[in-house]
Every structure is written in structure tokens, then in C-alpha cells.
Amino acid sequence: MKFRELGDSGISVSEICLGSWLTYGVGVEADAARACLDRAFDEGINFIDTANIYGRGAAETFLGEALKSRPRDSYVMATKLFFPMTDTDKGLSRAQVLKQVDASLARLQTDYIDLYQCHRYDTETSIAETMDALSDVVRQGKVRAIGFSEWSPQNIEDALAVPDSVKFVSSQPQYSMLWRRPEAKVIPLCAANGISQIVWSPLAQGVLTGKYKPGAPVPEGSRATSDAMGGFIGRFLETPVLEAVARLQPLANEAGCTLAQFALAWVLREPNVAAAIVGASRPDQVSDNAKASGLVIDPALFARAEAIVGELTA
């Protein structure tokens, strides 16, 4: 497992991050989730990403229980706030930052969170109020570093302009061969300001593993068949997308790796990406994804892959 620095924070994270969106505490049974977590540590993964909203606290609660016997300095824990936990508990106001960080600390059974992220931008709260509150929880020692997810370039610039505040070190956008929007503005802006990307859905909800075949029924037991985990995959299951993905398989074969590893290595080719967040319901998926770290793949193969998926938007 290779490691990269998270922005200019000095925090070293594994290139593969184990995520818990739609899985742990929600769509995956506890024993299977614990097995995936154990395998992640076996593979050298030290970075775990969650959020208070995942299962309305269930993912954090699972992780707190599963990790309590491990040395706290053996893993980097990232969580988030923004989405409604109750009818009144939502957003990024000062009151919510202070309340939700304490609630996450309690569920995670830890004294500090390594990376505390704004899950979305709060248009109803001033950026100065949010940044002041986040800076306070860092100065109090409850949080080591702060980040954001799916913010616009203007949102990012507004946050960087708040005086006397702790600076963001990470951005968490969706990014994959099938979703390249961050390349236009977010990645260049972040790279210029010491902010790394930790990207979600680098396998496009599993479509870039090649398991979904054009014209064939979705495999039983896959994310697409799960009520709890399949709600966001539909746009990637369109026939032209699946046909393009099928054309990527020979390139992965030529590179000597699985299609999932090829897709993850493509994401990690970007220097501003510190880690790719992967979900897993089985330990073998964790191991397969972990092997993408450090892969050296001919850039010409990536260029051919980009040409194939580029036809989808041509």
C-alpha cells in the first residue's frame, strides 16, 4: 500500500480509503462489515471515511465499536456533517458544528476526528460562521483537519478568503473515468491551495468493475439489486455506458490487472488525488481494490480508455 499526504496537513493516508456510504451499519451485515474492515487493515489501508448521516449514525456507531480495540494512531478517521439528522439538526451553523462533532465523537468512541468534512455547502449559513466554528473545533483538539465535499469553485474560494480560520486540506468530489467534472476547475483550484482530493465513487458505483454486462440482467446480490445500496447507480447502467465499459476490459487485461484496479489506478494517476474511496461488502473486494495502489500502467492505455469513454459525451 502506498501513502500520500492529505493536502498540506501532514497527515499520511493510504491511496485506497475504505468508505461506508450505503454499506456499514446500513446495507451490509455487521459480521461481513467487520470482516471487510479487518481485511482493510491487513492490506495496509489506514484511511476510513464515514458520515453522521450514513444510517443516521449507524455507520459511525458500527465503526466506533469495531475499531475500539485498535490503537487510535493506527487509522485515520474521516467523517462529515450537513445533512438532516433530525427535523431541526442540519446544516453548517456554529451550533450544528459544535453539536454534531460531539455526537460523532461519541458514536466513534474516540477523542478526536482526523478529518472533519462539510458534506455539502450550506447556503443558509454564512461561510464566516461555518469556518469560525470549524476552526474552533480544530483548536480545541476535537478535529485535526477539515475538508469539504462537492463544493463549487466559488464556495472554495469564499472559504479560503475567511481571515484567521483553519484552512481546508481536502475536497471530496465524485470522480471516475465516467465522471470527470472536477478536472475543469475544482482540481486546479485545490492543487494551487494545498487541498487534496479524496474521491468518492471512483468505480462508478461498481460499474467500472465490469460486473454489469450490456443486455444482461444485473447480477444477483450486486449493489444494483439492493434497495439499501442501489439508489444511485441507475445512470451508469444505461446500455451505451455498459458497452463502453466492456470495451475497457481488454485494456485492463493488457495492463495485467482487473478492470477495477485499472479504473482505480486511473484515478490515482492524478497527483492531486490523495485517496480513492471504495465500498466493499466482501473482504475479497477490499483486497482486489487495495492492489490498485502503486500500480504502474502505461499512460497510452489510459489514453485509449479515455477515448472510449469520451465517446459517451462526444
Q: What share of the chain is helix, strand, coil (3-state, %, to 5)?
A: 40, 15, 40
Q: Which residues pair with 78 in a beta bridge?
A: 49, 115
Strand segments (E) across 6-81: 12-14, 16-19, 47-49, 76-81
- The number of residues making up the chain comes to 314
> Are the beta carbons of 206 and 222 closer than 8 angstroms?
yes
E strand or H helix at 50: none
Burial (CB < 10 A; 0-12, 13-18, 19+), residue 103, is middle
Report the b/e string of 65-90 with b at 16+ CB within 10 A: ebbeeeeeeebbbbbbbbeebeeeeb
Residue 308's Cβ-count burial label (10 Å; 0-12, 13-18, 19+) is middle
Asked if 54 is an active-site residue, the reply is yes
Residue tagged active-site, from 24, 54, 121, 212: 54
**Who contacts 166 (Cβ-Cβ below 8 Å, separation ≥6)?**
131, 134, 135, 138, 139, 145, 146
CA 94 and chain centroid, separation: 25
- Which candidate, 159, 13, 27, 5, places its Cα nearest to that of 78? 13
Q: Mind telling me the catalytic residues?
A: 54
